[in-house]
Amino acid sequence: MHATALIAEDEPLLAAALQAELARAWPQLQIVATVGHGAAAVQQALALRPQVLFLDIRMPGQSGLEAAAELAEEWPDGEPFPAIVFVTAYDQYALQAFEAQAVDYLLKPVLPERLARTVQRVQGLLAQRGSAPASTAPDATLAHRLDQLRALLAPAAPAPGSEPLRVIQASVGSTIRLVPVDEVLVFEAADKYVRVLTRDAEVLIRTPLKDLLPQLDASVFWQVHRGTVVRADAIHSVHRDEAGKLSLEVRGLQERVPVSRLYAGRFRAM
């Protein structure tokens, strides 16, 4: 089976080793790009549209999971979403998560026998996609991948007995402002900061959103984008534009909040 692939691995020797093993296990596979960090993986994948992605989990800056999530949000409508294989050093939690979501993965160093099984799975997926009706195959594949990625990206469960965050402490000039979490409508990642929006004010904090998420009550705050979390009971309505993209009208805010396709499945009529 002829196919194209991209390898994202920050260690050149490991990237070369994986490419060499793939050449033996799948001679018809064309490696269209080898990159060393997540941002480059996103850029090259969007430009080259490979059918398979081999993504290292731990890379400088953007992780393999984060790169996959961004691709899921930015992937062109109607285009088949790539098959993704995550590459990781041994991490029991990660392996359990991948297995629970039926996501294929490879352990470093990559063993030929394990790679052969992965190649068979990926070839089967691509063959299944090719035999499905063109009008349904891309959407079905993308929806399945989005479900898998959402589960993998879900914040870690808080420690037993720990309380959800109650107050946000933000520097405002020479003072520290205390903002009750009960007043927060939206948390939004912005460069090196997170914008904290209430009905009456906006403050900036330096805590990354991915570190903030496990401290929030997941039944109160819903993630609607890689960089945005919204208070659920403040959502007034959900709007869909002509392109099918969703946005939220939030009580107390003038601007609408965009919803990425990765989290659009949360908003279905009951």
* Biggest distance spanned by C-alpha atoms of the chain: 64
Which residue among 130, 153, 176 closes a domain?
Answer: 153
Three-state SS letters, 218-244: CCCEEEEECCEEEEHHHEEEEEECCCC
Higher pLDDT, 36 or 92: 36
Mean pLDDT calculated for residue range 201-225: 93
Lowest pLDDT segment from 55-69, 95-109, 116-130: 95-109
Q: Is the pLDDT of residue 218 over 50?
A: yes
Lowest pLDDT segment from 51-65, 90-104, 188-202, 218-232: 90-104
Contact 197, 216 (CB under 8 A): no
57 shares its domain with 175: no
Domains identified in the chain, total number: 2
Q: How confident is the model at residue 157 (pLDDT cuts 50, 70, 90)?
A: low
Mean pLDDT of the chain: 88
d(CA 207, CA 31): 38
Residues in Cβ contact with 38 at an 8 Å cutoff, skipping those fewer than 6 apart = 8, 55, 59, 60, 61, 62, 63, 64, 66, 67, 70
Q: Is the pLDDT of residue 134 over 60?
A: no
Inside any domain, residue 53: yes
3-state secondary structure of 196: strand
113 shares its domain with 232: no
Q: What is the CATH number of the domain that holds 181?
A: 2.40.50.1020
Token pair listed for 196:
């904290």
Distance of CA 261 to the CA centre of its chain: 11
Q: How confident is the model at residue 137 (pLDDT cuts 50, 70, 90)?
A: very low
Dihedral of alpha carbons 238, 139, 136, 47, sign: positive
d(CA 257, CA 188): 10
Q: What percent of the chain has pLDDT over 70?
A: 89
**pTM, to two decimals:** 0.79
DSSP classification of residue 201? -
54 shares its domain with 134: yes
Range of the domain at 118: 3-153
The DSSP bridge partners found for residue 88 are 107
Instruction: State the pLDDT at residue 98.
Output: 78
Inside any domain, residue 159: no
The string of pLDDT tens digits covering residues 170-206 is: 988 899 999 999 999 999 998 889 999 999 999 999 9
Higher pLDDT, 32 or 143: 32
Mean pLDDT calculated for residue range 41-67: 93
Of 199, 213, 3, 242, residue with least CA distance to 120: 3
231 shares its domain with 209: yes
Strand order in the sheet with 184-190: 202-205, 193-198, 184-190, 228-231, 221-225
Q: Is the pLDDT of residue 238 over 90?
A: yes
